[in-house]
């Protein structure tokens, strides 16, 4: 969430942030409620201060009198009772005032809080303005050169021009090579479910394990295994709720008598960032560099009819995720952003997948990020159908790298103590390392051979018993 002090001091920045992100949050209403709340709180606190002062004064006297009352009789007893009654009546008026203020605040506090957590993190100043993903700006692209195991590939030319034969789509490849069984996945769990079979499962696991090991061994990240079933606080704290509530599977344990419902996480980011919620870290602990491999669950509400075929948009998948929690420093955050993206690029290059980086425009950012770069991988089986009847190929999003400023850590109450010993909300970043089975689409489609087999990229071979191709 945002800092209310900053909102008061510079509301225009947040109004502009809402506008640029295309989000409709009533900032002025929030400001008015905040003002009202603070003014009542001041009165409430004054009343309570007086109440406390009286309590300290009256308390010991009452204690003494009540002690005396036990042994008193007759007139002395009646006099004591009168004195006690008069002492006790003193703070009663204050109590009524306190209760009235409390009720007043309670009457609009939920609205105040709801508005507060909805205000999005304003985009960084250098993020291009735009209204949708169409306005994203390409930063650079990479095409594989000729190497020991694959020929060069140029995405500006058709697959057939590059390779000399028409490509199959990944749905055809997984069918012909028996890597995925969609029918039975749907039988068990409904639309957008699948069964990975045989070498399909092995390839899936190989990609994940390669990516995790890469992050740990080459990039110095700490591997973690985190819960994928979490409480609502985790979802709110990481910024996925309330905005993304419809995207998460909801386990209604409260309906069975438990105290709290649970939610399935859509990314390992939730578990990784939740680890240090409500903590104050030391400067030496930073930066935190965590990576995890976790199963991700997404309802894909609102995506009905989109990408219905194949492995692109599914309800359950596995993802290696990376997060960095660093000190509250813009330059440091930007440096980590670059470093995290470099990890992704190195992995994609080693797998021989053409890709491009897109600077997301303001309108494509979520509530919590101030800057986001998407990585899109080349998928020869995607895109329009060309004159020759084969798809022309297209880039499809496989990764996303966000800078969140202190927005997420403020929500999570995750701080560190700076050089002066002051607690400061840390900055957070997150980035996909690899998400599978989606990444199997470019791997299979890019490395398919004329005979219908698929060459396994060398880094994955050790994870597949040394196999060099499928089929």
Q: Which listed residue (400, 402, 410, 411) is catalytic?
A: 400
The answer to whether residue 107 is catalytic is no
Question: Residue 305 is encoded by which pair of tokens?
Answer: 């009819």
Q: Which listed residue (202, 298, 403, 415) is catalytic?
A: 298
Q: Which listed residue (50, 219, 397, 461) is catalytic?
A: 397
CB of 257 to RNA, least distance (A): 7
Q: How many CB atoms lie within 10 A of CB 264?
A: 21
CB of 33 to RNA, least distance (A): 13
Question: Residue 456 is encoded by which pair of tokens?
Answer: 């396994």
CB of 106 to RNA, least distance (A): 8
Which parts of 351-425 fold into alpha helices (H)? 407-412
Nearer to RNA, 150 or 328 (CB): 328
CB of 265 to RNA, least distance (A): 17
The answer to whether residue 438 is catalytic is yes
Phi, psi (degrees; rounded to nearest 5) at 231: -75, 165
End-to-end, the C-alpha distance of the chain in Å comes to: 51
CA-closest candidate to residue 405, choices 121, 195, 151: 121
**Category of 37 on φ-ψ map: left (φ > 0), alpha (ψ -120 to 50) or beta:** alpha
Which residues contribute to the site for RNA (CB under 7 A)?
A: 4-5, 38, 41-42, 45-46, 48-49, 51-53, 55-56, 58-60, 62-63, 66, 88, 91-92, 94-95, 258-260, 280, 415, 417, 421-423
Nearer to RNA, 4 or 80 (CB): 4
Nearer to RNA, 41 or 114 (CB): 41
Which parts of 91-140 fold into alpha helices (H)? 92-118
Phi, psi (degrees; rounded to nearest 5) at 220: 70, 25
Nearer to RNA, 23 or 40 (CB): 40
The answer to whether residue 37 is catalytic is no
The answer to whether residue 400 is catalytic is yes
How far are the Cα atoms of 206, 439, 440, 470 from residue 351, in angstroms, in the given order?
A: 12, 10, 11, 15
CB of 282 to RNA, least distance (A): 11
Nearer to RNA, 95 or 187 (CB): 95
> What span, in angstroms and rounded, lies between the C-alpha atoms of 141 and 155?
10
> What span, in angstroms and rounded, lies between the C-alpha atoms of 355 and 275?
32
Q: Which listed residue (313, 327, 356, 461) is catalytic?
A: 313
Nearer to RNA, 325 or 460 (CB): 325
> What span, in angstroms and rounded, lies between the C-alpha atoms of 94 and 83?
19
Q: What b/e string do you get for 395-428 counting C-beta neighbours within 10 Å, with b at 16 or more?
A: bbebbbbbbbbbbbbbbbebbbeeeeeeebbbbb
**Category of 22 on φ-ψ map: left (φ > 0), alpha (ψ -120 to 50) or beta:** left
Nearer to RNA, 55 or 128 (CB): 55
> What span, in angstroms and rounded, lies between the C-alpha atoms of 163 and 286?
48
CB of 12 to RNA, least distance (A): 19
> What span, in angstroms and rounded, lies between the C-alpha atoms of 349 and 258?
48
> What span, in angstroms and rounded, lies between the C-alpha atoms of 61 and 377?
78
CB of 324 to RNA, least distance (A): 22
Per the CB < 8 A criterion, the answer to whether 352 and 446 are in contact is yes
The answer to whether residue 313 is catalytic is yes
Per the CB < 8 A criterion, the answer to whether 461 and 209 are in contact is no
Nearer to RNA, 277 or 341 (CB): 277
CB of 181 to RNA, least distance (A): 24
CB of 427 to RNA, least distance (A): 16
Phi, psi (degrees; rounded to nearest 5) at 230: -130, 165
Nearer to RNA, 60 or 338 (CB): 60
Per the CB < 8 A criterion, the answer to whether 292 and 267 are in contact is no
The angle that helices 92-118 and 27-71 make with each other, rounded to 10 degrees, is 150
CA-closest candidate to residue 134, choices 342, 345, 310, 374: 374
Q: List residues with catalytic annotation.
A: 298, 313, 397, 400, 438
């Amino acid at each position: 969430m945002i800092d209310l002090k900053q909102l008061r001091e510079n509301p225009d920045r947040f109004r502009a942030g809402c506008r640029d992100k295309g989000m409709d949050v009533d900032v002025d209403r929030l400001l008015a409620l905040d003002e009202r709340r603070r003014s009542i709180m001041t009165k409430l606190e004054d009343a309570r201060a007086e109440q406390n002062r009286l309590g300290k004064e009256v308390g010991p006297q009452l204690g003494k009198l009540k002690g005396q009352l036990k042994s008193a009789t007759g007139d002395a007893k009646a006099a004591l009772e009168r004195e006690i009654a008069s002492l006790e009546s003193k703070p009663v008026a204050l109590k009524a005032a306190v209760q009235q203020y409390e009720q007043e605040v309670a009457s609009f506090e939920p609205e105040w809080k709801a508005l507060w957590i909805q205000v999005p993190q304003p985009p960084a100043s250098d993020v291009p303005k735009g209204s949708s993903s169409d306005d994203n700006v390409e930063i650079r692209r990479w095409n594989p050169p000729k190497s020991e195991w694959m020929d060069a590939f140029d995405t500006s030319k058709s697959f057939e021009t590059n390779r000399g034969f028409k490509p199959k789509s990944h749905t055809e490849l997984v069918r012909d090579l028996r890597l995925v069984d969609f029918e039975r996945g749907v039988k068990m769990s409904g639309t957008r479910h699948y069964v990975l079979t045989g070498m399909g499962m092995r390839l899936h696991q190989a990609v994940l394990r390669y990516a995790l090991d890469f992050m740990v061994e080459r990039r110095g990240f700490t591997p973690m295994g985190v819960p994928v079933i979490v409480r609502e606080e985790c979802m709110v704290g990481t910024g996925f709720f309330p905005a993304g509530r419809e995207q998460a599977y909801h386990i209604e344990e409260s309906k069975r008598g438990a105290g709290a419902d649970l939610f399935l996480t859509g990314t390992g980011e939730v578990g990784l960032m939740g680890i240090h919620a409500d903590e104050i870290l030391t400067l030496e602990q930073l930066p935190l560099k965590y990576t995890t491999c976790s199963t991700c669950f997404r309802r894909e509400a609102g995506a009905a009819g989109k990408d219905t075929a194949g492995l692109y948009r599914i309800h359950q998948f596995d993802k290696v995720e990376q997060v960095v929690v660093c000190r509250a420093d813009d330059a440091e955050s930007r440096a980590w952003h670059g470093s995290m993206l470099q990890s992704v690029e190195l992995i994609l290059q080693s797998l021989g997948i053409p890709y491009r980086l897109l600077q997301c425009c303001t309108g494509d950012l979520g509530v919590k990020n101030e800057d986001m770069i998407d990585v899109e991988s080349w998928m020869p089986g995607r895109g329009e159908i060309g004159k020759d009847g084969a798809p022309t190929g297209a880039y499809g999003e496989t990764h996303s790298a966000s800078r969140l400023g202190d927005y997420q850590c403020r929500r999570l109450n995750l701080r560190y103590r700076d050089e002066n010993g002051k607690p400061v909300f840390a900055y957070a970043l997150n980035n996909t390392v690899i998400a599978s089975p989606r990444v199997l689409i470019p791997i299979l489609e890019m490395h398919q051979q004329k005979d219908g087999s698929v060459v396994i990229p060398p880094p994955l071979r050790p994870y597949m018993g040394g196999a060099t191709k499928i089929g």
